[in-house]
Chains A and B, each alone.
Chain A
């Protein structure tokens, strides 16, 4: 079923980049979504500083994922980005606002100033998570593509119930992920509050995940086709369920890091399930499946895929090494000082 040619390797690598993005930027979008629940200025600053040193490194995963998609599958990049024009422009505004809000917010003491950027940060984070989920939902559901490979739908057509459900699920997932990350970085009163929010967001996520799974099985049968024809792949679905179930367990025992790890693994297994059922399609076309963009008809030349693989093999280990170093340097609870946001 899977042949490990260059196209497949790049399908996996693009998936790895977007999964890395979900795991890393996921928690700082989640912190953003929880930001307004913290009422005190001091608490909001601690939340901001918990992601302070790492958020823009995390965002680079999205940028690099986009670059890799452009290079490896230019037709997917062109069709999806031009087809989802307004959705992506909104995503850009959301990302811009939250980025500058983090930087600007604590630079001035005025109430209105901080209030404005607080709202920008929270709204930008929620909207980013929602739109990323909606985009994923549309890719899973399939979008209308004409015989030239161009998107043939409309903006409002992208906002039907299934993608919206996936959008809300993504927000829930990131909120849970962010709350658990926050537990590792905070202490005292705020830590206790985060524990309550984490509890609620775990419930929120589990409910959403169950609904999404049901909706997918009922309405999007092609998203389970590979597993139906290769029953052993069901083990990944089981692993996914176990990872999700393990989050509240670790959380209950107060093992925050393990809970965070479980949350990461839950995302990883979800993305694997998503990827396996997409394969070899990149963008499923409905109602004309023959127009689907696949890892073969939408890919760059073999030569480019080969060159890029060399670049990735040189670059990715180095990136992982120093990313790990950075997280190590900034481990532990947030301590505020003059350089803090």
Chain B
């Protein structure tokens, strides 16, 4: 195997593994803010217990996110040095801004969130939780901005030529507000909120199935399902908007997503199916005109097909199609699951519907898979470009790194990440089986409730 494919596999592996954790941190961050807000407002200690339990899960995902995140920042330089030289002027500033505005905020206040329970007042702790959540969102902002610039570069000019060519910034705000960055940020955040919400839903449903920690589970489910439903509905809106953006900005990518070879008006949308690359057509259940309508709000609008692009400018079709359709299918299923769960929960029959609880337990896999597939679709669909229209992926490689070296690091990364993943799942399972701590129902120290509230606790 050559250095190109090895480097691509390594980047895919490390970013895919990393991307298990940040969405969970972002989503759980939102959940923690809501739980602590509910505790501050109602003084119901079950919210305190929830906040503490989910904080310990948050700590686990955060540590892995940090550990695997440093890799990403180094890897642009180690494996994609020519790319780094080419984009440093533009892309580097987004990464540096992420460090200064997001990571410091997140990690600084994380200390208070994790270890500050007895050291600061409830309000200060709530503030720290909000800051951690905000920091996590900021990091999503900057990294999505950086990635979106690779999809739809704006606000730059090219200086030099050949090996010395590089993109130089002309307008910072044009770079930040590239045509796709808003849509893609919204889409990424919805996915992250879903990841956090469905983790909470899944664990709470498990407790209800096992008939333990029922009060804790019911309150967790209520918050989880609410956020999960809202995020899933927003995700449908954002998915539609993003796809229209792709149709405008990266038509070759949309054509690959849908396996559309010939430019057609009244283009059909394939609901389920596959692409026959030999016959150049998508095969499966199709709705005529729907793709034209979704992409351009008009059933008769022509949708550009892959044959309008030179063969060397086309992304891989089958895999783009598969990842994109997988993501859409899961996204749709999550809306149904969240809606049904909310309905049963509202009718107060959820605890009796064991089949539904089982679905909710497994629903945690949905956002995880959809987030991964979505990113794979976005990045595979950008091929053969590393910066869309400007730099091809093979041109971005490090000039001095040999295939054997990359193979060595790839094998080591695979081994270490498998070990970490096993340890993570083991600890996550341990924490979940252990459940929330009973002591947390009686907050003490600086967090203790005023006496009159404790005496009137029966109210709750």
Contact = CB atoms under 8 A, between A and B. Distances in A.
Interface stretch (A60-68, A191-199, A207-215, A239-247): A60-68
Interface in A174-226: none
B262 interface: no
Contacts of A74: 84-85, 87-89, 92, 166
A57 B416 contact: no
Interface stretch (B39-47, B246-254, B339-347, B394-402): B394-402
A52 B115 contact: yes
B88 A71 contact: yes
Contacts, number: 229
Nearest to B82: A78
A308 B93 contact: yes
B119 interface: yes
Contacts of A93: 412, 416
B265 interface: no
B93 A63 contact: no
A150 B218 CA distance: 60
Interface in B400-458: 400-401, 405, 408-409, 412, 416, 420, 423, 427, 430-431, 437, 439
B351 interface: no
A83 interface: yes
**A-B residue pairs, 5 tightest by C-beta:** A74-B88, A81-B77, A71-B92, A64-B99, A315-B100
Interface of A: 52-54, 56-57, 59-60, 62-64, 66-68, 70-75, 77-83, 85-86, 88-89, 91-93, 95-97, 99-100, 102-104, 107-108, 148, 150-152, 155, 300-301, 303-304, 307-308, 311-312, 315-316, 319, 322-323, 325-326, 329-330, 337-340
22 contacts: A53-B115, A60-B99, A60-B103, A60-B107, A63-B103, A66-B74, A67-B99, A70-B95, A73-B88, A77-B88, A80-B77, A81-B81, A82-B401, A99-B63, A99-B67, A103-B63, A303-B168, A303-B169, A303-B170, A323-B104, A326-B108, A339-B114
Given A62-B70, A85-B398, A100-B67, 16 more contacts: A53-B114, A64-B103, A68-B99, A75-B85, A78-B77, A82-B81, A91-B74, A93-B412, A96-B71, A100-B64, A107-B431, A303-B170, A307-B169, A311-B93, A312-B100, A323-B108
Interface of B: 59-60, 62-64, 66-71, 73-74, 76-79, 81-82, 84-85, 87-93, 95-101, 103-105, 107-112, 114-120, 159, 163, 166, 168-170, 172, 398-401, 405, 408-409, 412, 416, 420, 423, 427, 430-431, 437, 439
